[in-house]
Structure 1
Amino acid sequence: MRDDHDSSKLRRLARRSGHADQSRSLLALATIYDVASRGAVALLVGTDHQSICDWVLRFNADNPDDLVDRHGGGQKASLTPEMLAVLKARIEEGPIAVVLGVML
């Protein structure tokens, strides 16, 4: 673990964090600084030993900001903007009564 942080500093960072998962990770790391084993910390925070090791690696690599989950943005949209415009127009028009066999 890094020498430039300690458990009290990590707890302060956890309180200020706007990300619940980052706060959880920081509190787990603070517990490690308090001389708890990684396995014990994993049980304490409800995760596995590998996640704790990953958090330690991310934390040691750069800084506490690396503990914020960065999502990839999801799957690329299947519909083009033109297709979305046509779909929106079709929805706005409403059902075609003759095709659906409905009397309006």
Structure 2
Amino acid sequence: MELSPSPTSRSQAAEPFRQIQILRANIEQVIRGKEDVVKLAVVALLAKGHLLIEDIPGVGKTTLASALARSLDCTFRRVSFTSDLLPSDIIGVTIFNS
């Protein structure tokens, strides 16, 4: 038995594409001049993957994450990673070694 994808009409494919374009345009209103970064961030979310945003200080990493969250009507919390950060600092549960 061979599985083949069901045919998709252009109108069926057009709606998700339009929604993605609206999402990108909304984020790009806040993040200017970094279309490639916005595109990669949206692709990571569509692929249900993880997104790690790394760069030098002051280039808009937090702003990008906040714009993504707001555009998708999600919550956003910032976590500063330091050498003494513990899992309980993020999830709010103390873990004891048994």
TM-score of the two chains, using structure 1 as the length reference: 0.25
TM-score of the two chains, using structure 2 as the length reference: 0.26
Larger Rg: 1
